Amino acid sequence: MIQDILQQLHIGNVNRGVSTGINWLDAKGAVIDASSPVDGQHIATVKTASREDYDTVIATAQAAFREWRLWPAPRRGEVVRQIGEALRQNKEALGKLVSYEMGKSLQEGYGEVQEMIDICDFAVGLSRQLHGLTMHSERPGHRMYEQWHPLGITGIISAFNFPVAVWSWNAMLAWICGDVCVWKPSEKTPLSAIACQHIVQDVLKANKVPEGVCCLVTGGRDTGEWIAADTRVPLVSATGSTRMGKAVGSVVGARLGRSLLELGGNNAIIITADADLNMSLIGCVFGAVGTAGQRCTSTRRLIIHESVYETFTKKLAKAYQQLRIGNPLDEHNHVGPLIDKDAVNLYLDSIEKVKAQGGSFLVEGGVLSGDAYSSGCYVKPCIAAVENAYPIVQHETFAPILYVMKYSRIEEAIAMQNNVPQGLSSAIMTLNLREAELFLSQAGSDCGIANVNIGTSGAEIGGAFGGEKETGGGRESGSDAWRAYMRRQTNTINYSTHLPLAQGIKFDL
């Protein structure tokens, strides 16, 4: 089956991983061997970008920007609309490739492609709403307003856990704003990116889009470093670990460029005494084990009121025993593999640290073995009873380890929720209006996302996505996130016969 999918998406045994939009370069960089954590099988090889290839791509993108920025925004939106239609036609095949290459469940693979379709729809409408403000001037006979102009090249560095969706969040908005894009996907999931480039190419050709609007440069860490340091790239959008984001942010900041950072999460759900425990269970389990705990919005911590702690943790443990772990292309399975054996080792190391720091396990973890788990990347989702102050709990564990702890007062729970370096997503489960409003108030969650009676994982594209503190402060996707891809310009027009100065300053000649 997977061979049919690869053929449909134009993935061969050997693939070029560098494109200036419609054309592919004969890349001269290193070769990536792409394999699947599902079964450990080699899928294909990818030729990555050399520094010479990279410079060719950037030069092509610069030239394209000079033309693309002059296209009316609704015309650019029409191109994005057609890309959305192309993604609809390829949703099943692309969703299966994402699932197989990354290891997330098939439903999540389909969901990721649906996110791409949704952001296309959002961007199409937005292409007719890129607006500024008008302001009253203090000077008679003057009009003052602001407008927004495209920046130029948007460099997109994406992570393995969402190999295609996060690129689309950035690219679709950047394109309707008049920017061009250079995408550096994760070296762990290059084939999904190459498939997207093939899907988009037919739309670009049909609309005579300038060569260089949609570029792809596969490669390793050095490729990302080229983008971060490149003064020709005014905006770098990077998704990944806090460690990576600090490195990117410092390099981009040193050249006074702009960075849009979506980094680590250490997300908590507060379960109050007034929570609907059955509904809470669904949000907590999916949040903790979805994508095998490899989402930036995965639920890492449960802060449970002492009066319902025993009841709820028993429900959790029972639900975990019902989880089906296996090949994610089998829709009956809930949990697939971790991305690779390095991730497995980090999972095992985290378990040992929990024990060393005084925690205990309500549901034990471990690596699964046997023919069905031959890749060596399948692990057991586990639950650990801990204290919030444990060093391991303060760290983002990118694996299906759920930390549970007790609280007695709602103010204490909110303080525990906030007392970690990260600030992405948060949630409270309660039917108590006062608790819900306190959680959403200035004295409540310090995260970029705060939910009531839904989990931490699974954001709609209509809202701006991003977090605070070590999560980076960036915002992508919905609301007014489009402004990150543009530059603001304030304009004043004097239509009078005089030239008065602001603040009443006199300068007579």
pLDDT of residue 57: 98
The mean pLDDT values, 10 residues at a time, for the chain of 509 residues are 93 97 97 97 97 98 98 98 98 98 97 98 98 96 97 98 98 98 98 98 98 98 98 98 97 98 97 98 97 98 98 98 97 97 98 98 98 97 98 96 98 98 98 98 98 94 97 97 98 96 88
Looking at the structure of the chain, the number of domains it has is 2
Among residues 262, 435, 470, 476, the one annotated as catalytic is 262
Q: Characterize the bridge pairing of strands 401-407 and 449-452.
A: unpaired
Number of other residues whose CB lies within 10 A of the CB of residue 318: 11
What range defines the domain where residue 126 resides? 2-263+472-489
Assess whether 279 and 255 both reside in one domain.
no
Residue 320, C-beta contacts closer than 8 angstroms, at least 6 positions apart: 285, 289, 363, 381, 382, 383
Contact 329, 99 (CB under 8 A): yes
CATH of the domain at 210: 3.40.605.10
Q: What's the rounded Cα separation, in Å, for the pair 267 and 264?
A: 9
**Based on the domain organization, do 245 and 351 belong to the same domain?**
no
Could you confirm whether 262 is annotated as catalytic? yes
Q: Both 241 and 302 in a single domain?
A: no
**Measured in whole angstroms, how far is the alpha carbon of residue 185 from the centre of its chain?**
12
pTM for the full predicted model: 0.97
Give the pLDDT score at 229. Answer: 98
79 contact partners, CB below 8 Å, separation of at least 6: 175, 203, 204, 207, 209
Tokens, residue 191: 């084939």
Backbone CA torsion sign across 204, 207, 210, 213? negative
- Which residues does 182 contact at the CB level (< 8 Å), separation at least 6? 57, 58, 61, 153, 154, 155, 156, 215, 216, 217, 227, 233
The pLDDT of residue 300: 98
Determine the pLDDT at residue 439: 98
Residues 93 and 19 in one domain: yes
Query: Is the same domain home to 420 and 483?
Result: no
Is 312 in the same domain as 204? no
The CATH number covering residue 369 comes to 3.40.309.10
Identify whether 53 is part of a domain.
yes
pLDDT of 459 reads 84
Same domain membership, residue 107 and residue 245: yes
State in Å, rounded, how far the first CA of the chain is from the last one.
82
CB 248 within 8 A of CB 259: yes
Residue 349 lies in a domain: yes
Residues 198 and 312 in one domain: no
Type of residue found at 188: K
Percentages (nearest 5) of helix, strand, coil residues in the chain: 40, 20, 40
Q: Are residues 229 and 319 in the same domain?
A: no
Same domain membership, residue 115 and residue 158: yes
Task: List the structure tokens of 79.
Answer: 């191109």
pLDDT at residue 23 in the model? 97
Output the pLDDT for position 407. 98
